[in-house]
Structure 1
Amino acid sequence: MSKRLLKSGMIVSAMTLVSRVLGLVRDVVVANLMGAGASADVFFFANKIPNFLRRLFAEGAFSQAFVPVLTEYHASGDKDKTRELIAKASGTLGVIVTIVTLLGILGSSVVTALFGFGWFLDWLNDGPAAPKFELASLMLKITFPYLWFITFVALSGAILNTLGKFAVSSFTPVFLNVMIIGSAWFISPNLAQPEIGLAIGVFLGGFVQFAFQIPFLIKEGVLVKPKWGWRDPGVTKIRTLMIPALFGVSVSQINLLFDTFIASFLATGSISWLYYSDRLLEFPLGLFGIAIATVILPALSRKHVDAHSEGFAHTMDWGVRMVILLGLPAMLGLMVLAKPMLMVLFMRGEFTPHDVEQASLSLLAYASGLLNFMLIKVLAPAITRVKTLRHR
């Protein structure tokens, strides 16, 4: 079992590494184009809101609740029943996320006021940050549809992971990075407001990721017509399991969003400094923490379906040991090398030495929690899986 998990983990880590490296290239391109100025602040704000909802619901709580239930259905050997669960889960989720997306687009000014309250106050009082509020409201209309696409990307990825096809979902984020880089090079230079081009890149990235996974769903025979199924037993179980999972994934995400809320009251560049430092934190978190969590969740689900408590404990022990083995050196490395890494990666173009200094301080604070963030990624699915037994 450990060898199989290690092999799956290496596949996910390899694909994630490609995506994360390309993500760093994307951030270098954006830093060179906009640095940490007002335009960068607004773009990162407009990109963070749909990503917050994605991580909170789609890739976070929903996946943790959906995979155990799907694994249970899949283990029964009844393909029609499994396809029916996928149809009703996707249909129910689709209706909800469509409503949320439309509300986000139509109410972009309200969303901006809620999470960028400092900009909103300046807009009310005709202060210096008033243009940020207006631009952020406009850009949210472009970036919010990304939530719709990425929700189904997360759903498709959860299905493929359950079937053991880890490489597809791990490689998918590459296309988002490619679209943003392409937009920075070919669209932004032709616009009066270059940040609008980056927002278009986010929209295109969501669409391409969604389209990329469809052939693999067809190949596995799990591309089904969505159905509304709010009261379906399987969907009900998923909804019930999402509640504890929400608490597990929401802490770090709400903290990051609260950081943005506070930063909207601070000097121009504050949101950008937080973004760049968070991106360096996400590199080891995705490469190790999320990769390990991705491969052990289906394994944990199979163990509980088979009532194999010893195997469940062994899998959890392996996951925690791997997190500590890889996470502790990564945490120390980020703390010691915060400033040099920021200088090497970003200090060019519009990104100044002052930006490096400010971003290094936030990276130092973020890095101190890396090991705990990684452990949450591994432990939260186990808690969700144990919770499943109570709802059989």
Structure 2
Amino acid sequence: MRLLRSSAVVGVFTLMSRLLGFVREILLAAAIGAGPIADAFFTAFQFPNLFRRVFAEGAFNSAFVPLYAGRMEAEGETEAQRFARDVVSVLATFMLVFVVAAQIAMPWLMYALGPGFVGDPGLFELAILLTQVTMPYLLMMSVSAMLSGILNSHDRFAAAAAAPVLLNVILIGILFFGEAPPETLVLWLSIGITVSGVVQTLWLWLACRRIGIRLGFRIPRLTPGVRRLIVLGVPGAIAAGVTQINIVVTGSIATLQEGARSWLYYADRLYQLPLGVIGIAMGVALLPALSKRLRAGDDTGASDAMNRALEISMGLTLPSAVALAVIPHFIITALYQRGAFTALDAEMASAALVAFAIGLPAFVLIKVLSPGFFARQDTSTPMKFATIGVVVNIALGLGLFFSPVGFVGLAIATATAGWINAGLLGVVLHRRGLLEFDARLKSKLVRIGLATAIMGAAVAAMGTQRALLTGWTGGSTLLALIAVVAIGGVIYAALALATGAVRMGELRKALKRG
């Protein structure tokens, strides 16, 4: 089975990107902390990032890949490339208009994106400027998402997975070398975001050319193929981007409390590591695999691929979620508490991290279950469930935010919405006969749960000895955290092998080529 190998390729580069992202966040927390300026920058960064996921990555992972792969198999490379040229022309034109319109309308849009900034004219203007500067990133990422879809359809996952590394390299360079007041630094970072979009697009364009894909812009035309992509892509984009939609909604509400936007951001970055390495990587690799099996009429193979995806993703996600939930303050303190990031900031971000950790398995399940619909060119059903999740997130988030729970209620609402969305996806797939848990999956989930529970207890016990561990590592909380994570990983790996949750023979077989 190539699924594990393909997702491992994506996962390795995603891990590299996320680890560099941690370096970026550590430097960022030390430089700007979690105050009003940080709130404005994170709002500016999140807005184009939302539409990158919704309009670009979501649409193409859910609709473009099956359509392009189908053209390539049924009509050959030439027709597939003609379809891709039609799509890139329409996409780039639409996104250019959208970006310019959003930049012009940003003074009004910011009332919805950052209502908490309205009372401070200087902060409100800064948030508008930063968001206008980062918006071209969306245009570049839209084209990049299409190029990534083409590469993934040709089973070339590495180049697309490596592209986000460039964003972190550029921002780390700015943070490391760019000593400046916070207001100036966040402007440089915003410019760096847009520059990274240009660099990533060029990187993927060259990767396509290396495998013989020649794309060029032409006058945009709504050909039948493009119209079909739009019909499938719009609901698919909304469905695939639901987690990001929920994050932006909670972030908008959070601006009403100074610092809350930043606390949620720093906590969000931590659970995004396993979500990206496991959930997104698995979803990217699973969609082409399912599409190929279904086109070949191999329903049994498609069902087996889905079961193995659930098995692998939960085997990696559950221990990550438990670790984040049992030692949140240890993690936040070790990674962020230095410079402008205070002990109060660490305490607040830790509380949000617990709620996000509870929702992490659901967020991964959404990424794994959605391809079961997308591969069958059904994007409307996931969109409906995603919409339900957004409504739950907004209603519950507002209710809890204005209760004694405060801003942590926004993270609780996001996690709850994630579980509702994942549950609906799973139930409907099962009712349609598209998701049947086989005996192997059921057995593995029990064993994974047992190994995770024991590992979690061990990590929690080590977390209570943080002062002792820090003393052993020469006073470095970060080294103490790395030691705890390493020991926890060894414990889980040993238990997974001992219980049969993981078997070396299965791993070797899954990682083989072909």
Q: What's the TM-score once normalised by structure 1's chain length?
A: 0.93
The Cα offsets for residues 186-210 of structure 1, whole Å up to 9 and x where unpaired, read as: 3452886221111111111111111
> Could you tell me how far 1:389 is from its partner in structure 2?
11
Segment of structure 1 superposing worse, 58-67 or 231-240 = 231-240
Q: Distance in 2 between matches of 1:40 and 1:294?
A: 32
Counterpart residue type for residue 347 of structure 1? Q
Q: Is the 8 A contact 1:65 1:238 kept in 2?
A: yes
Q: Distance in 1 between matches of 2:379 and 2:329?
A: 47
Segment of structure 1 superposing worse, 223-232 or 108-117 = 223-232
Q: Distance in 2 between matches of 1:241 and 1:28?
A: 39
The question of 1:205 aligning with 2:203 is answered no
Structure 1 pair 379/230, CA: closer, same or farther in 2 (3 Å)? Answer: farther
Q: Is the 8 A contact 1:263 1:271 kept in 2?
A: yes
Decide which of 147, 160, 177 is 1:169's aligned counterpart: 160
Q: Distance in 2 between matches of 1:244 and 1:304?
A: 21
The Cα offsets for residues 69-123 of structure 1, whole Å up to 9 and x where unpaired, read as: 1110111251211011100111111111111111122222122122112323x1x
SS at match of 1:165: coil
SS at match of 2:217: coil
Decide which of 314, 326, 330 is 1:336's aligned counterpart: 326
| Misfit runs of 4+, over 4 Å | none
Structure 1 unmatched runs, 5+: 123-128
**Structure with more relative contact order (C-alpha pairs < 8 Å, separation 6 or more):** 1
Q: Is the 8 A contact 1:75 1:305 kept in 2?
A: no
Q: Distance in 2 between matches of 1:23 and 1:376?
A: 23
Q: Distance in 1 between matches of 2:189 and 2:220?
A: 37
Q: Is the 8 A contact 2:325 2:357 kept in 1?
A: yes
Aligned to 1:357: 347
Structure 1 pair 107/281, CA: closer, same or farther in 2 (3 Å)? Answer: same
Q: Is the 8 A contact 1:229 1:235 kept in 2?
A: no
Aligned to 2:24: 26
Structure 1 pair 188/86, CA: closer, same or farther in 2 (3 Å)? Answer: farther
Structure 2 unmatched runs, 5+: 381-514
SS at match of 2:111: helix
Aligned to 1:87: 85
After TM superposition, list the pairs within 5 Å mapping 1:148-297 onto structure 2: 148-187=139-178, 189=180, 193-228=184-219, 230-266=221-257, 268-297=258-287
Q: Distance in 2 between matches of 1:114 and 1:224?
A: 38
Q: Is the 8 A contact 1:188 1:195 kept in 2?
A: no
Counterpart residue type for residue 326 of structure 1? L
> Could you tell me how far 1:275 is from its partner in structure 2?
0.5
Q: What's the TM-score once normalised by structure 2's chain length?
A: 0.71
Counterpart residue type for residue 58 of structure 1? A
Q: Distance in 2 between matches of 1:172 and 1:246?
A: 21
Identical aligned pairs, as a percentage? 34
Aligned to 1:125: none
Q: Root-mean-square deviation (CA), in Å?
A: 1.8
The Cα offsets for residues 300-353 of structure 1, whole Å up to 9 and x where unpaired, read as: 111122122111111111111112211111111111121111111111111111
Q: Larger C-alpha radius of gyration, 1 or 2?
A: 2
> Could you tell me how far 1:230 is from its partner in structure 2?
4.9
Structure 1 pair 52/236, CA: closer, same or farther in 2 (3 Å)? Answer: same
Q: Is the 8 A contact 1:162 1:298 kept in 2?
A: yes
Structure 1 pair 190/372, CA: closer, same or farther in 2 (3 Å)? Answer: closer
Decide which of 301, 318, 321 is 2:311's aligned counterpart: 321
